[in-house]
Structure formats: structure tokens, C-alpha cells
Structure 1
């Protein structure tokens, strides 16, 4: 297990300038999708198992929180404002890992399509001490954030709350997957897998994809990163991903990395847009089919909001016969750990705020 980010091995000076806290069990394994490959007639399909990034709660948020919550802790702030959909993995991860660090999460929730996990996630939020604030429309979220930000200022100490951006898309958050690419490169160099020609990753608001693509560029890898959008276009698009990459690179160099200057543009970003389903968290037939196929062939679980749609897009992409000779990596970014230990058996949906209970009637 890694005691520090691989990134700090490559740039030792960053250990002094970029806060980090160990939350995950890294590196995550890479596995060959042999049975899926046999079924599709593709000899080199691989998966990076970030669903197992921690023994508590896995998924991509673990890598993000290692940098984000460390930054919050280093700032001396103890309260964070975090917006997200009702079933938000970001708020849940912030709550689970934030509680371990003595941090309080103030959630600003907006509606999403009902899913089988939504109530469970909110009950975990409740058990972890999240403060619930519900807005009737996503368009009211900015006003709600400002209100709760001002409300949670500690005027005696003149200390403002920390802000966790929606889906964790900031230059700090991108560091988690920038570091993950250094981890993957070590696995490639060790012969655990060939260097991918294409990597497929879910794109919610672009932070994970930005970190991966920036890492590949800095490491001078041939790999092409393909993002699969699962949110509204306004929240995730090529321009946003390029912007996060540019800001993350500036962040690293301000911290002393000394990476050669690069400038990323929208045209550098490969993103698939037509597997979203029209609304965040809406289940799609293509996603359901992809989820079933991976479960039947490899015994790996996907979720219908994020990773099943990404797998569906990848399967569609692989119909191109020219890709049969390429090395393809699917980056599994959704938690598959059992979250039951975080539930309070004394809590039920009736213990959630009244405005939220309406979604379960």
C-alpha cells in the first residue's frame, strides 16, 4: 500500500506544498476483461478497479477527497458547503471521510431522477451528520450556496466555510486523478498491463477526466482519454475539461512542480455525448444492457447513473473494427463496497426532511 501519492515520488517538492491525507487503499488493481473480450472478439480489454479504492467506500471520490479534504484541514476550516443531487456520491463521500477528520458537511441538495440508491445514500448522509438543505430547482443552487456560505461564517474567528464544488470539479480535485495516472504508469512499467491506446472514463463535470488526461500528457503517453458525459451539457463539456486541465497545471507549477508549460483547448478533448439519457440519473436501456453484460461475463458491478452508461458508450465505440488491435482500458469509478456499516438502523426515510420524503412517496 502506498504511504504517499506516486505524484510526490515524481515531484518530491510537492509533498511540502500540496496537502494530502491517506484515505484510500492504493494502488487499485488492473484486470484483464478476458471473458468480455472473448465475447466481443477483442483480445485486449482492461479495467482499472477504482471501485475498490478504499475498504470503506470506493469509487473516484476517494482520490479526490485525499487532496480536497486535506486542503480543507490545512486551512483550519471545519465546515464545508457541498452542493449535489439528492443521491450525491460527492456529498456522501465528503460526509464519510470528513467525519473521520472531524469536519462537518452542509449539503445543498437538488432533485434528480429517482434511483434505487437515492434513499440509501441520504440515510447515510443523515447518519454521518450532514446538514440537509433542499432546493426545489437546480437553478436556485447558486443562491442557496451563497446563503449557507454566509450563514456558516464564524464571525468571531473571521473564518469562512470551505467550499466543495459540485461533483468535485476544481484544480485541487483534479490532482487525485493526475496522481492516478502516475500510479497507472507504474503498473504499465511493471508489466501489469500494456499502455492503453484508449481509456474510457465517466465525465460528470470533468474533474476526473481532466486529471487523467493531464497526467497522460505530462507523462508523454500515447493514450487517448475518452470521456462519456452523464450530466447536462452545461455542466460537462470539452471546454470545461480543458479549463480544469489548464488550472490544475497552473496549480501544480505554483506548488513547485516545474512541469513544462502546456495549453489545452476544447479540440484536445474527446467526449461522447449521446449516452446521457436526457436527464441526470435517468436509466437507459443501453446502460442496463452494458451493466448486465459486464456482470454476466466478469462479475463486476456497474451503476446505472455513471459507469453503465460509460461501458455502453465503450461497447458501441468498439464496434469499429480498427479498434480490434488496440489496447482498451475502462476506468471503473463507482463504489462497489458494501456501505451498510455507515447506515444507522434506527433511521428510516421518515427521518429525512419533509421536502425530501416527497421523493419516496
Structure 2
């Protein structure tokens, strides 16, 4: 299927040639039982959890553009960074290797969540070189080493934490343009609100810019899940506008009709990755009445706003960033030539 961005940005290939990882367009499904239970007029889910049958989620959209630029730069490897249970790190391990790159990650401390154990097991199985920092004091030196030490013949291509870069935003813009096409074709009614779990802002910025370029008057509801020191509405707006300017330098002519933004701070507690009773209730509701999965770091805590009666009486589209499937290393490795890369064990950086 033709990429929406290539259609509206004639010079996109001069900036980046994204790799193809997405089973596009990802569907939008209705959840009437959850809407009735939580009090919304209607509830629809953008199923980015189905972005790829090996491992889904919105991070796959970001990686299409990062890996495309890494390939264009002639990189042998890619390096990224995130907390112990990072979805981006796992997605980079999977799709970086499938795209033919060596992979490396720097992992930083976070509270114990199921994804921590999953990454500890899966990342080495997928051939990723991993450095785990026992505390944040160890991060600066480990960061310099991870960025500058060659991976293959040269220094690795850098993928920022949380995909916080216009390239990461572009992948989400394409998803928002898919939704706009569903609305225009009548497959989806016009939502009042698009609700987005928000960390370093790439997803929220992409949703905001995508709907602005589509000219659709929806309100983006960004629900903060990380400390304010690393995020905020101003940062999100600037990232969306920076991406817009970059695309215009490469031929984008569509006007950006910026819609309303609602930034929500009240559901991030008690801390990053830590659950709370309302999030647990939302997760149980989805398990009982919904057709998708949640996790406690982003999706369940964001849905807690709806479970608590937020956006009552409104037509809501929830952007599901989590993967619908657990990755299967055996299935992934079966598609990669044997001994493609040398295995390097995890390095533990002590306190």
C-alpha cells in the first residue's frame, strides 16, 4: 500500500526511505461494552498493537523511519536506550536484527515490572549487546561508551529514547493519516477525542501533526505517564512543529490546521512503571470486556482516565501503543541466517 507521507511529501525519499515493517493500515475496532461501562458515547481503538504479527505496538512505526535512515547512512549497527523494561529496546532488538543490523542497548533503572524480566531473557536471545546500569550515576559513562564504540565497522546509528525525534514522529503521522482515511471513507465516525499514552512525546506529537495535516477537528488528549522533567505539552507541541517544518523542507504543502490539545497529568502516579488501583481496575475491565491487551506502564494507566468517568458522553478513539503478541525468539531467529552476528553477553554496570 502507498505510504500516506510519500503521497503528501514528494521529497520524502530524499530525507529517508523507511523500511517496511507495518501490516498497514492497522485496524480501528469498536468497544461498545467498555464505552457503556465507562460512560463514553463510543469508544474506538486504533489497533497499533497489531502493527506486526511478530511484535506489535507503535514503536514499530517509529523504527520504519529510523532503520531506513540507518540503512541509508550505511550503518552496520544501531544503538538505543531505555529503562530495563523498554518496549522500544525490545522492538529495536527484533526489527533491527531482522533488517540486518547489529543492535546495542543501554538500559537504565526502573521499578520492577513484568517487562523487565522479559527483556532480560529476550534481548540476549535476540543477539542484542546490552549494558544494564545499576543506578543513574553509572549512566553518563555508559552512554558515551554505547554511542561511540563501533558496532561492526563503524559507530552505530543512534535511535533516541522513546523515539523522541522527527523521524519517530513521522511513523505516527502515517498512523493518524490512516485514521483520517477511515473517517473520510465512513468506516469510522469522527471522534471528539483521540487519547494517547504519553512518554517522551513522539506518539502524541505524531497524532497531533497527523490530524492537523488531515484537517480534522479532533482534540488530542495526551495522558502523561513519565516525570514532568522529561515531558510536557510545550515539548510535545515543539516536536510536532519541528517535524512539520522538516517535512515542508522536503515538499509538504498541506496546511497544518492545529487542533485542540488537552494535557492530562493526574494518572502517572505513584511513579513510572508502578501501577495503581484505578489502572488495575481498567486492566481488569479490558480483560473482561475488551478485545486487546494492556500493561501497567502506559496503556492501563491511560485507560484509567476513561474508567474513572473521564471524557464522559464523548466519542473517543484510544491509541493502543502496546503489542498484541508476546515476541517468540524462536520464530524471529528462524527468519535470520545462522551466525549472522556474533553474540555479546549482557554487561552489568555496578552501583
| C-alpha distance in 1 between matches for 2:39 and 2:275 | 27
Summarize deviations over 1:258-313 as a string: whole Å, max 9, x none.
Answer: 34478x8xx96422112112322112111110011111112322111110011002
Q: Which residue of 2 aligns with 1:288?
A: 280
1:195 to 190, 197, 200: 190
Q: Which moved more, 1:224-233 or 1:35-44?
A: 35-44
Summarize deviations over 1:47-94 as a string: whole Å, max 9, x none.
Answer: 111111111100011111111111111111122221111111111101
- Within 5 A, what are the aligned runs for 1:121-136? 121-136=119-134
1:58 to 40, 56, 65: 56
Give the paired residue count: 339
| Equivalent position SS for 2:222 | strand
1:46 to 37, 44, 47: 44
In the superposition, the TM-score normalised over structure 1's length comes to: 0.87
Q: CA deviation at 1:95?
A: 0.9
| Equivalent position SS for 1:311 | helix
| C-alpha distance in 2 between matches for 1:13 and 1:79 | 26
| Equivalent position SS for 2:139 | helix
| C-alpha distance in 2 between matches for 1:305 and 1:352 | 27
In the superposition, the TM-score normalised over structure 2's length comes to: 0.89
Is 1:254 equivalent to 2:249 in the alignment? Answer: yes
Q: Which residue of 2 aligns with 1:138?
A: 136
Summarize deviations over 1:330-352 as a string: whole Å, max 9, x none.
Answer: 111100213134589xxxxxx97
Q: CA deviation at 1:161?
A: 2.2
| Equivalent position SS for 1:227 | strand
Q: CA deviation at 1:148?
A: 2.3
1:168 to 147, 151, 163: 163
Q: Which residue of 2 aligns with 1:11?
A: 9
Summarize deviations over 1:80-122 as a string: whole Å, max 9, x none.
Answer: 2211111111111011001011111221111111112321122
Q: CA deviation at 1:193?
A: 1.0
Q: Which moved more, 1:22-31 or 1:291-300?
A: 291-300
Q: Contact 1:228–1:273 at 8 Å: present in 2 too?
A: yes
Q: Which residue of 2 aligns with 1:177?
A: 172
Unaligned runs of 5+ in 1: 345-350
Q: Which moved more, 1:35-44 or 1:74-83?
A: 35-44
| C-alpha distance in 2 between matches for 1:10 and 1:268 | 23
Q: Contact 1:37–1:44 at 8 Å: present in 2 too?
A: yes
Q: Contact 1:242–1:269 at 8 Å: present in 2 too?
A: no
Is 1:330 equivalent to 2:318 in the alignment? Answer: yes
| C-alpha distance in 1 between matches for 2:216 and 2:156 | 39
Q: CA deviation at 1:144?
A: 2.2
Distance 1:71 1:44, change over 3 A: same
| C-alpha distance in 2 between matches for 1:138 and 1:219 | 41
Q: Which residue of 1 aligns with 2:113?
A: 115
Q: Contact 1:81–1:145 at 8 Å: present in 2 too?
A: no
| C-alpha distance in 2 between matches for 1:301 and 1:261 | 33
| C-alpha distance in 1 between matches for 2:40 and 2:265 | 24
1:186 to 174, 181, 194: 181
Unaligned runs of 5+ in 2: 334-343
Q: CA deviation at 1:29?
A: 1.0
Distance 1:123 1:191, change over 3 A: same
Summarize deviations over 1:300-329 as a string: whole Å, max 9, x none.
Answer: 2211111001100233353x6xx41x3211
Q: Contact 1:108–1:135 at 8 Å: present in 2 too?
A: yes
Q: Which residue of 1 aligns with 2:19?
A: 21
Q: Which moved more, 1:40-49 or 1:299-308?
A: 40-49
| C-alpha distance in 1 between matches for 2:226 and 2:317 | 22
